[in-house]
Structure 1
């Protein structure tokens, strides 16, 4: 089982890079007139780069109190970028700015910022591994993220890439169904004997996430080699691949936790 220090550092290392890249992607989507929004995005890039530099000096032997204070500091950064993303989303939805950042993408990035902030708060409260009922909610969050990714990929591929577009749509439909199934399970979950249900649930999700991760890896490699036509930057392709891989690690950690609780 991970310690408070190692779990905190792993979460910060992973999500700070994601937040930094979100700010970069958003900055690319604004028009030249949106100078203030671009400047804010660049400021967030700098904030999370400093956090990445800061945690490079810490390890599993770092005083937990130092990490507790770090979590509070990073929480504030995550909450700030969440507020920025929601502001951008509001401007787009009210037609106050014209942006290549589609609304669902901005909403998607804000949900991840909210999740990051929530995880830091949970860690400081001593919650390292979610309770069984929280495992389902955690999967609901990530299944929605995976469904969104599939939609974004299909949207950003050139229409002439028909086979890849069809594959992205199939993944979108698959993860939409998994998401609905997870929400049903969350609603009907019995008060006892949940472990067999959760184990089956995790196994089913794992199969689909592995397939999507491998699809993303192939797409990333093809984009880097300039072998497919799309508006997907290589960094974005790698970004969504890393998030799928992260979800798999979470599924494995949940599975290991349930196994350890048997008997």
Structure 2
């Protein structure tokens, strides 16, 4: 355990606890008014992750690593519980037990994948286990490319159909990121032969360009929604939420490229 462990743990928890908190709100907004038990559970998760987020910001990088390890276990339990809640909700929707609700099955599945990612990250940090760089690059990109493709689909479905140009742009992003995801899955299937620095470097460069373009589209959509300049049923917080996740993916891509570059420089 070290200061690096503390810094990385706090950074992950601060980011993802806010995401989990917001998921709770979005799910609640999609329930029917008669779904009082589900609404209550969503409110409880909102409160839990709001407290976790606040606690994470109260720590500094000088905190005792053992204390942060215990905190990660606490957060892991909360992430596991909200993952189970999301999977329960998904089952209810797919079995047509919540007719008339406004939560897309893919959106609920999407949020559960993010909860599972979060708890896996906490397990890796507490166990001192991290994938070797080539594996990590491919795994993270497969995960986030699918997240980005989902976002484009959600935006396209939540914009008013009369916003034809924006809807078409969202559909194009959905198609582009589906293709990037398939390419990433192909690269993963070719491992370990595909794990060369030139191929991984090109992989990151290509994804960065596309993610930056989607990030800019999300920022424009967010700003237009906040200014009430377009027609949609997208909550302003959801628009900012998906923008922040694109920013997160760009941060991860840059970190991976820096690690690759450093390895090449030291060779």
- When the two structures are superposed, what TM-score results if normalisation uses the length of structure 2? 0.96
| Residue matched to 1:96 | 97
Taking only aligned residues, the RMSD between alpha carbons, in angstroms, comes to: 1.2
Q: Post-superposition shift, 1:133?
A: 1.5
Which whole-Å deviations, capped at 9, do the CAs of 1:155-187 have from their partners, x for residues lacking one? 000011000000000000000000000000000
Q: Post-superposition shift, 1:191?
A: 3.9
Report if aligned partners of 1:144, 1:179 keep a CA contact under 8 Å in 2: yes
Q: Post-superposition shift, 1:260?
A: 1.5
SS of the residue 2:102 aligns to: coil
| Residue matched to 1:240 | 242
Please say if 1:35 is aligned against 2:39: no
1:1-263 correspondence to structure 2 within 5 Å: 3-98=4-99, 99-127=101-129, 130-191=132-193, 194-262=196-264, 263=267
Report if aligned partners of 1:217, 1:238 keep a CA contact under 8 Å in 2: yes
Partners in 2 of 1:236 and 1:130 — Cα distance?
34
Unaligned runs of 5+ in 1: none
Relative to structure 1, the CA distance from residue 153 to residue 68 in structure 2 (aligned partners, 3 Å threshold; closer, same or farther) is same
SS of the residue 1:133 aligns to: helix
Q: Post-superposition shift, 1:129?
A: 6.6
The count of aligned residue pairs is 262
Relative to structure 1, the CA distance from residue 90 to residue 192 in structure 2 (aligned partners, 3 Å threshold; closer, same or farther) is closer
Question: After TM superposition, where is structure 1 displaced by more than 6 Å over at least 4 residues in a row?
Answer: none
Q: Post-superposition shift, 1:113?
A: 0.2
Partners in 2 of 1:129 and 1:57 — Cα distance?
29
Partners in 2 of 1:56 and 1:239 — Cα distance?
19
- When the two structures are superposed, what TM-score results if normalisation uses the length of structure 1? 0.97
Q: Post-superposition shift, 1:189?
A: 2.6
Which whole-Å deviations, capped at 9, do the CAs of 1:8-55 have from their partners, x for residues lacking one? 001000000000000000000001111000000000000001101211
Q: Which range moves more in the overlay, 227-236 or 93-102?
A: 93-102
Unaligned runs of 5+ in 2: none
Partners in 2 of 1:125 and 1:202 — Cα distance?
27
Q: Post-superposition shift, 1:107?
A: 0.2
